[in-house]
Amino acid sequence: MRSMLLVLTSATLLLAADVTEEGARWWSHIQVLADDNMEGRNTGSPGHRRAAQFVAGEFERAGLKPAGTSGYFQAVRLDVRSIDEPASNLALVRDGRAVPLALGEDASFSLRADLAPHVDAPAVFVGHGLVIPELHIDELAGLDLKGKIAVFINGGQSSIPSALKAHYSSADVRWKAFQKAGVIGMASIANPKSMDIPWERAKLARLNPTMNFSDHKLVESEGEQFAIVVNPANAEKIFAASGHTFGEMLKLADADQPLPHFPLNVGFRSNVKLGHSRVESQNVVALRPGSDTKLKNEYVIYSAHLDHLGIGQPINGDRIYNGAMDDASGVSSLIEIATMMKEQDLHLKRSVIFIAVTGEEKGELGSAFFASNPTIPKKSIVADINMDMYLPLFPLKYLEVQGLAESTLGDDIRAACKRAGVEVQADKEPDRNLFIRSDQYSFIKQGVPALAFKFGYTPGSPEEKVAKDWLKYRYHAPSDDLNQPVDKPAAADFNRILLDVGEHVADAQDRPHWNENSFFKRFATGE
């Protein structure tokens, strides 16, 4: 708790403080993290290690204590998987005749699984491939899937609550259900309407190595022999022998109709040559101890991911994927929030952990590792406030919050936004599954209530176009760099709100809890 005098002082300071100045300071950390000499901060790379050193130094400067396993660092050991594409191939087999599929054009291997060297198996279309026990949805029911490859279109009917859809669409959960039905591999086709990155650009990433835990107990894709993503523009040939067309399926999906399930009367044949190596990469973990004798043993976590994609396929002659917004912006906010806590001399009752995680782009690996092997008692983590690519590209009038309706943290963020005169918005595009697509989900899966954010806008506004264009042109592209227009004062507004919400959660009498009707509550209660 702060003394009255400090309250007045910091309030005055806050009012007088210049968001332009704060925004510039926030940007200055990004200038370091997203500089070309950090080489895109790929997990396990020297650039990532340099970035981790920088963050540890800033955490120290903000008065935070080391809270890793070795100073500020917690090492995560990872297996690296890469594909030798010229030595690999994929074909569609129809009536015993193999028709080659062009890698990168028709489909790409997904390296999320430890693909088998050779697979030859029939394919079955399973609609959206969703199995959701609580809604009695089982798109695999009654199908003969033993030893087969399940082909599905991403998404699902709008009547399915977004949290459920997101959870059951996540690759690992989906795989568990497929595996139970006897499936040996999967082919996913994106609905072109909900593709974040156009295929022409997305296909470049197929050559990037992927990673998973060296500790196989933590790997959830075990047993998956085959995984491809299909270019929707060329998906028709997979349906050619089925008596149905892909166009017909898309039309049904877009009209929110249920999709039929049927054998495709073709099979996939694959030969895959993988390369394997190992790396170690660091989470950076720091602590601001709480002031209350009892509550200081509980922890509010602020998280953001330090890693990005490293050096990859060139786009417009640029090979460095700097990741300025994704997610140097969030890491910089960690530094700023910690710094403001120090400047305002906050004495929060609960302790606060600041963590810059590694391996997010490889499947939220660093956060999953920390959440399952925390350097503080697991049960003492009360909340995760995650900041990933929140996109301060225009003034902060609306804050879109993922997880808004799921826990009491929703009330906390509403209150903080109200104090700041910012309007809260719920997730506008639940089909993009954002609540499970970043590090907060690692904590949610351990039962911890969490929030995630995006700068919001109203439909049809110029801001909507700015945000959508950003995804189309800069998301996971080398142009997410220091030469892009960013609204720095708006980022400072965001940082203040995020400080405010964490401050209230850290000082509240009770720890946050999941709402009674929240889907995610099950992870906390083990139901």
- Compute the CA torsion angle 230, 233, 238, 242 (nearest 10 deg): 130
Instruction: Output the smallest distance, CB 8 to Zn ion, in A.
Output: 42
Query: Looking at beta carbons only, is 262 or 475 nearer to Zn ion?
Result: 475
Choices 66-74, 162-170, 318-326, 461-469; region in contact with Zn ion by CB under 5 A: 318-326
**8 A C-beta contact, residue 304 and residue 333:** yes
d(CA 78, CA 76): 6
Instruction: Output the smallest distance, CB 360 to Zn ion, in A.
Output: 7
Instruction: Output the smallest distance, CB 104 to Zn ion, in A.
Output: 21
In the range 286-305, which residues lie near Zn ion by CB under 5 A?
none
Query: Looking at beta carbons only, is 34 or 249 nearer to Zn ion?
Result: 34
Give the up-direction half-sphere exposure of residue 388: CA atoms within 13 A in the CB hemisphere.
Answer: 31
Query: Looking at beta carbons only, is 242 or 322 nearer to Zn ion?
Result: 322
Instruction: Output the smallest distance, CB 154 to Zn ion, in A.
Output: 18
Query: Looking at beta carbons only, is 307 or 384 nearer to Zn ion?
Result: 307
Instruction: Output the smallest distance, CB 326 to Zn ion, in A.
Output: 4
326 binds Zn ion (CB under 5 A): yes
Query: Looking at beta carbons only, is 326 or 431 nearer to Zn ion?
Result: 326
Choices 66-74, 82-90, 320-328, 449-457; region in contact with Zn ion by CB under 5 A: 320-328
Cα→Cα distances 346→2, 11, 74, 295, 377, Å: 6, 12, 27, 15, 24
Instruction: Output the smallest distance, CB 129 to Zn ion, in A.
Output: 24
Q: 113 in helix, strand or coil?
A: coil
**Residues touching Zn ion, count (CB under 5 A):** 1
Choices 3-11, 219-227, 319-327, 399-407; region in contact with Zn ion by CB under 5 A: 319-327
Instruction: Output the smallest distance, CB 327 to Zn ion, in A.
Output: 7
In the range 407-426, which residues lie near Zn ion by CB under 5 A?
none
Contacts of 502 (CB under 8 A, 6+ apart): 300, 302, 337, 352, 385
Query: Looking at beta carbons only, is 246 or 441 nearer to Zn ion?
Result: 441
d(CA 398, CA 45): 37
Instruction: Output the smallest distance, CB 481 to Zn ion, in A.
Output: 14
**8 A C-beta contact, residue 132 and residue 139:** no
**8 A C-beta contact, residue 227 and residue 109:** yes
Choices 53-61, 86-94, 215-223, 326-334; region in contact with Zn ion by CB under 5 A: 326-334
Per-residue tokens: 302: 């602020």
Instruction: Output the smallest distance, CB 404 to Zn ion, in A.
Output: 22
Choices 189-197, 322-330, 403-411, 494-502; region in contact with Zn ion by CB under 5 A: 322-330
Q: Which residue is nearest to Zn ion (CB)?
A: 326
Instruction: Output the smallest distance, CB 21 to Zn ion, in A.
Output: 29
Contacts of 498 (CB under 8 A, 6+ apart): 302, 333, 337, 385, 387, 453
Choices 237-245, 323-331, 366-374, 426-434; region in contact with Zn ion by CB under 5 A: 323-331
Q: How many CB atoms lie within 10 A of CB 346?
A: 20
364 binds Zn ion (CB under 5 A): no
d(CA 94, CA 442): 41
In the range 29-68, which residues lie near Zn ion by CB under 5 A?
none
Instruction: Output the smallest distance, CB 270 to Zn ion, in A.
Output: 27
Contacts of 491 (CB under 8 A, 6+ apart): 23, 26, 27, 329, 333, 392
Give the up-direction half-sphere exposure of residue 107: CA atoms within 13 A in the CB hemisphere.
Answer: 27
Contacts of 178 (CB under 8 A, 6+ apart): 129, 140, 145, 150, 186
Query: Looking at beta carbons only, is 326 or 384 nearer to Zn ion?
Result: 326
Query: Looking at beta carbons only, is 326 or 336 nearer to Zn ion?
Result: 326
DSSP state at residue 95: T
Query: Looking at beta carbons only, is 361 or 427 nearer to Zn ion?
Result: 361
Instruction: Output the smallest distance, CB 210 to Zn ion, in A.
Output: 13
Query: Looking at beta carbons only, is 326 or 400 nearer to Zn ion?
Result: 326
481 binds Zn ion (CB under 5 A): no
Query: Looking at beta carbons only, is 126 or 309 nearer to Zn ion?
Result: 309
Query: Looking at beta carbons only, is 91 or 315 nearer to Zn ion?
Result: 315
Distance of CA 409 to the CA centre of its chain: 19
d(CA 99, CA 104): 16
Rounded to 5 degrees, φ, ψ at 310 are 80, -145
Choices 194-202, 325-333, 443-451, 505-513; region in contact with Zn ion by CB under 5 A: 325-333
Beta strands per DSSP E along 316-470:
318-321, 351-357, 381-386, 398-402, 423-426, 450-456
Residue 237 CB burial class (10 angstroms; 0-12, 13-18, ≥19): middle
Sites of contact with Zn ion (CB under 5 A) = 326
